[in-house]
């Protein structure tokens, strides 16, 4: 097996172990119990700021130094983050841990997809990029489902246990990355190095511009249920006296959410063929906006079912966005551009979340009235954005 073929075979397993996030369904509950609801939101802002700071430099490093080296740094940063969160107790420790977690995400962002596409190109299999991205996305969701329910169960004993489990997961992830081979570049590409003209051309493309704006918006709306889902579940269960079971139920809901998304991914190619690329992407964004609006309108326990749809829009969009973008980029700026795309979403979301934290309680858990007001504003912004994207898509051949 060639190095490129091995990369293609290992890539789904990289996504699997990277997304064994045992803390995903209980992190807000953990920080809320250790600190406060307002601090829990600010902790997430530290993560987004760190990812923002490292995003573009990590993409540039990937394009200049190499994909494998950048992914190794990503794994080491993730490992450091889980160790600090598992053993930390002070706000500054948790904040630094979020900085390390942000570095982990930033160093992997764009680099992983670039490694996959360049490995496919080396094997003459570029036309498989959509199928391979969808396959990796399913591994991603399976890992999230498994780790969510197991992490929720662990948190019943101790909210720190999920972080200890993640230390093991990152250790295995590091072993997978060491098995990757650096995609070989042509001599001409090595001589040219970083191509600023290639980056300028990418931002001049109406298709890439539309996808950039859409991706930034979808990043934020995808993470809203992630941030507010746990306090929403806690507030809803508190109404019926089951708040003590919030970690387990949150984990179960997250696991079910991923199962629904896996099933959706099998239907995604057919939906894309029927609606077209811009159609399926706008439909996916519309689902995100509807979910946020639904959580804002009701605090009923039954509304927890809405959270099952959280990752469905990602199944209907992310693989197709990446597959559409990759052929339009040159290797010398591929990871840098993808990092800039991620950066745009993180800046917008971090700024909005910082403003939202000012409306949250400084003491104790977040009430549904606070969640309702914050998500209501996001819902209005989402509707306006969806209409603007639709008008632009009608005028351009996305």
pLDDT digits (tens, 9 = 90+) for 288-347: 999 888 878 876 666 677 778 888 998 899 889 988 888 888 877 888 888 888 888 878
Please, what is the angle between helix 37-64 and helix 27-34, to 10°? 130
What pLDDT is stored for residue 382 in this prediction?
Answer: 93
Residue 329 per-residue DSSP state: S
**Is residue 62 scored above 70 in pLDDT?**
yes
Contact assessment for residue 11 and residue 116, using Cβ atoms and an 8 Å cutoff: yes
Residue 185 forms part of a structural domain: no
For residue range 134-151, what is the model confidence (pLDDT) as tens digits?
Answer: 999 899 989 988 998 888
Chain centroid to CA 326:
18
Give the rounded percent of residues in the chain with a pLDDT score beyond 70: 85
What pLDDT is stored for residue 294 in this prediction?
Answer: 84
Between 368 and 355, the higher pLDDT residue? 355
Residue 271 forms part of a structural domain: yes
What pLDDT is stored for residue 239 in this prediction?
Answer: 67
Average pLDDT, the chain: 84
Residue 391 forms part of a structural domain: yes
Based on the structure, what is the number of domains in the chain? 1
**Is residue 29 scored above 80 in pLDDT?**
no
Between 250 and 137, the higher pLDDT residue? 137
- DSSP-H helix ranges across 88-128: 91-108, 111-122
CA distances 12 to 111, 139, 230, 254, Å, are: 14, 6, 28, 21
**Is residue 236 scored above 70 in pLDDT?**
no
Residue 197 per-residue DSSP state: H
Mean local confidence (pLDDT), 249-278 = 85
Residue 186 forms part of a structural domain: no
Q: And the tokens for 35?
A: 């600190």
Measured between alpha carbons, how far is 256 from 149 in angstroms, rounded to an integer?
A: 9
Measured between alpha carbons, how far is 224 from 201 in angstroms, rounded to an integer?
A: 32
Between 138 and 192, the higher pLDDT residue? 138
CA distances 210 to 275, 311, 321, Å, are: 17, 21, 11
Measured between alpha carbons, how far is 254 from 261 in angstroms, rounded to an integer?
A: 11
Highest mean pLDDT among 14-18, 53-57, 320-324: 14-18
Residue 118 forms part of a structural domain: yes
Chain centroid to CA 363:
29
Measured between alpha carbons, how far is 301 from 299 in angstroms, rounded to an integer?
A: 7
Mean local confidence (pLDDT), 160-166 = 93
What pLDDT is stored for residue 285 in this prediction?
Answer: 96
Measured between alpha carbons, how far is 340 from 113 in angstroms, rounded to an integer?
A: 14
pLDDT band at 362 (very low <50, low <70, confident <90, very high): low
Residue 183 forms part of a structural domain: no
Structural domain including 360 reads: 3-178+195-395
Task: Check which CATH number belongs to the domain holding 117 and give it.
Answer: 1.20.1250.20
Residue 184 forms part of a structural domain: no
Question: pTM of the full predicted structure?
Answer: 0.75
Residue 189 forms part of a structural domain: no
């Amino acid at each position: 097996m060639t190095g490129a073929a091995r990369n293609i075979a290992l890539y789904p397993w990289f996504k699997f172990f990277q997304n064994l996030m045992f803390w995903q369904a209980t992190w807000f509950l953990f920080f809320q119990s250790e600190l406060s609801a307002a601090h829990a939101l600010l902790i997430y802002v530290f993560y987004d700021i760190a990812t923002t700071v490292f995003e573009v430099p990590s993409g540039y490093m990937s394009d200049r130094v190499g994909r494998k080296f950048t992914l190794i740094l990503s794994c080491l940063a993730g490992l450091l983050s889980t160790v600090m969160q598992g053993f930390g107790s002070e706000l500054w420790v948790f904040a630094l841990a979020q900085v390390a977690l942000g570095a982990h995400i930033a160093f992997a962002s764009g680099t992983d997809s670039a490694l996959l596409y360049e490995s496919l190109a080396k094997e003459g299999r570029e036309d498989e990029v959509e199928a391979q991205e969808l396959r990796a996305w399913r591994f991603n969701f399976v890992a999230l489902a498994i780790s969510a329910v197991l992490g929720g169960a662990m948190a019943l004993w101790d909210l720190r246990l999920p972080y200890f489990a993640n230390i093991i997961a990152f250790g295995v992830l590091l072993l997978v990355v060491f098995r990757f081979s650096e995609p070989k570049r042509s001599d001409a590409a090595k001589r040219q190095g970083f191509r600023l003209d290639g980056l300028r051309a990418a931002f001049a493309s109406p298709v890439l511009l539309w996808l950039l704006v859409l991706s930034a918006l979808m990043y934020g709306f995808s993470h809203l249920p992630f941030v507010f889902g746990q306090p929403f579940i806690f507030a809803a269960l508190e109404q019926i006296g089951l708040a003590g079971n919030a970690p387990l139920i949150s984990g179960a809901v997250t696991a079910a959410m991923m199962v629904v998304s896996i099933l959706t991914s099998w239907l995604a190619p057919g939906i894309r063929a029927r609606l077209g690329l811009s159609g399926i992407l706008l439909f996916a964004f519309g689902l995100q906006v509807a979910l946020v609006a639904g959580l804002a309108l009701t605090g009923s326990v039954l509304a927890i079912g809405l959270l099952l749809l959280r990752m469905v829009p990602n199944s209907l969009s992310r693989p197709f966005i990446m597959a559409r973008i990759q052929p339009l980029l040159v290797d010398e700026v591929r990871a840098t551009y993808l990092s800039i795309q991620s950066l745009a979403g993180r800046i917008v979301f971090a700024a909005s979340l910082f403003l939202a934290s000012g409306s949250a309680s400084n003491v104790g858990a977040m009430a549904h009235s606070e969640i309702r007001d914050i998500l209501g504003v996001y819902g209005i912004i989402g509707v306006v954005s969806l209409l603007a994207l639709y008008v632009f898509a009608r005028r351009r051949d996305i």
